[in-house]
Amino acid sequence: MGVIGVLMSIMFRMQIAWPEEPNILFEALLGKWAPGGVMDADIYLALVTIHGTIMVFFVLTAGLSGTFSNLLIPLQIGARDMASGFLNMISYWLFFLSSVIMIISLFVEAGPAAAGWTIYPPLSALPMAQGGSGMGMTLWLVSMAIFIASSLLGSLNYIVTVINLRTKGMSMTRLPLTVWAFFVTAIIGVVSFPVLLSAALLLIMDRSFGTSFFLSDIFIQGEVLHYQGGSPVLFEHLFWFLGHPEVYIVILPAMGMVSEIMASNSRKPIFGYRAMIASILAIAFLSTIVWGHHMFISGMNPFLGSVFTFTTLLIAIPSAVKAFNWITTIWKGNLQMNTAMLFSIGFVSTFITGGLTGIILGDSALDINVHDTYFVIAHFHLVMGISALYGMFAGVYHWYPRMFGRMMNKNLGYIHFWVTAICAYGVFFPMHFIGMAGLPRRYYTNSAFPLFDDLANVNVVITVFAIIGGAFQLVFLYNFFVSIFFGKKAPQNPWRSTTLEWTAPVKHIHGNWPGEIPHVYRWAYDYSKPGHDVDFVPQNIPLKEGEEELQH
């Protein structure tokens, strides 16, 4: 899904950079939607819609929560398996089915869903509104309903596993921050995903059964439709009640993994362990009461806007606590600059950069000026998209030996990091400036507006960086798959980490550990502890006589 999502973004970036110019790639991939190699306006919006859907839900949500929660929760808490293997299997196959349906929607004759990834009515509620409002939109809604079911089953499984299956001695305050992040992420998912499911079901009823939940006083080509009494703004509320917690469903697992990787590669205990847990919990709570900042120009009561501004700016506090704690963790540490550590530091960089622009967008008075411009795209791609991808890459490089018993090629990892880091800023940094200049998002060409002629060259630069950055992800894929078979054999604990997953044998066995499950005697971050011969003490090593357990 990631490959498809990135390919779509490269296609519509090429359209923005060189509008109306014939392109052999468009002709080959889009067929009738690109007559003579020139992209049709309708398919442009469809590509934007499906790209956003795939990247937010199928890559970032599933890639971080789905993949790493299943791998790490049982291993790090000392469990034989997840609480319910059966639920896990259903969750995976529902995800697979929803992915297949989303891909099938690309081949519908009238075109895939084309109302933006937020699928606001009335475009999404009236099948006759445009080509992309027909069967493609119906398949989108069915796919998302199945995806939500998959996500809920997975989340319930993670919560029950963490609460019930911890090994002897593994109290909640001895859990690695990765498990805390996965646990709280699952709770946010259980709270917020059902709201999007209800919105999708009501939308299906509006489309197929003549109801008017989100429709009122609609005219099409002078004809008055029979809908009345509904409100499209109601859909916005329901969508963003999931949509904003979704940002943290994506970023929290990355935060947890980065905390773990930074402590391990700094050879220092994580700074402010309890403050990190408190900030995860604070982010989880605050994320459910800030959704209105996406709707400042929807006609919202200014007083309500000021309430959402306050709660939005409040969430900067726990986010800043995490950023300062990461910086303090690596301060004067014995840094091991492997690929996972580089991506973790890159994560902190993009999280801070993207977070700063969030202060502007979270303020109702300032947001009005840049709402629906490229400034918004720059902000959320940096803080959520790129940061979460960096967290995912860091996790893959760090736990790869645990997955496959082999090491990934370090030099290819360095190439992957540096090109990705330069290209990510090359794409999204200039977008802040064209956004402040007023360039609107989702327009398939800006050539009709002389006002924006001066920005055309900036769009070309952005697109060149996007193409290079997208192409170099092939280096990662090559490294990943080739290393499975030909990578250097990994030792039991290649990073000299303290958590339980490195005590299990590299060989995959059912039940994770042969014989007895290890017991836990200390917290997860005993690095460089005075009185020990080595600079790490695994959690399953009993305390020496007179040794105190640390917990910062």
The answer to whether residues 216 and 228 touch, using CB atoms and an 8 Å cutoff, is yes
Q: Against a cut of 0.85, is the pTM above it? A: yes
**The pLDDT of residue 433:** 96
Q: 138, 61 in Cβ contact below 8 A?
A: no
The rounded distance, in Å, linking the Cα atoms of 464 and 241 is: 36
Question: What pLDDT score does 552 carry?
Answer: 61
Single-letter code of the amino acid located at 364: S
Domains assigned to the chain: 1-502 (1.20.210.10)
Q: What is the pLDDT of residue 219?
A: 84
Distances (CA, A) of 64 to 48, 198, 281, 321, 406: 22, 24, 18, 22, 21
Cα angle 280, 284, 287; round to 5: 130
Q: What angle, 0 to 180 degrees and rounded to 10, lies between the N-to-C axes of helices 387-404 and 232-266? A: 50
Cβ contact 71:396 at 8 Å = no
What's the confidence (pLDDT) of residue 388?
97
**Structure tokens that stand for 56 in this block:** 């937010």
Q: What is the pLDDT along the chain (552 residues), one digit of tens a residue?
A: 999 999 999 999 999 999 989 999 999 999 999 999 999 999 999 999 999 999 999 999 999 999 999 999 999 999 999 999 999 999 999 999 999 999 999 999 999 999 999 999 999 999 988 889 999 999 999 999 999 999 999 999 999 999 999 999 999 999 999 999 999 999 999 999 999 999 999 999 999 998 999 998 888 878 888 888 899 999 999 999 999 999 999 999 999 999 999 999 999 999 999 999 999 999 999 999 999 999 999 999 999 999 999 999 999 999 999 999 999 999 999 999 999 999 999 999 999 999 999 999 999 999 999 999 999 999 999 999 999 999 999 999 999 999 999 999 999 999 999 999 999 999 999 999 999 999 999 999 998 899 999 999 999 999 999 999 999 999 999 999 999 999 999 999 999 999 999 999 988 888 999 999 999 999 999 999 988 999 999 999 999 888 888 776
How far apart CA 493 and CA 301 sit, in angstroms, is 57
Whole-number pLDDT of residue 217: 85
Give me the pLDDT at residue 376, please: 97
Amino acid letter, residue 40: D
Position 377 scores a pLDDT of: 97
DSSP 355: H
* pLDDT of amino acid 222: 81
Cα distances (Å, whole numbers) of residue 85 to 150, 167, 348, 505, 511:
14, 18, 35, 21, 12
Contact predicate 59/102, CB 8 Å: no
| Nearest-angstrom CA–CA distance, 480 and 238 | 39
DSSP state string for 263-309? HHHHTSPPTTHHHHHHHHHHHHHHHTT-GGGG-TTTT--HHHHHHHH
149 close to 57: Cβ distance less than 8 angstroms: no
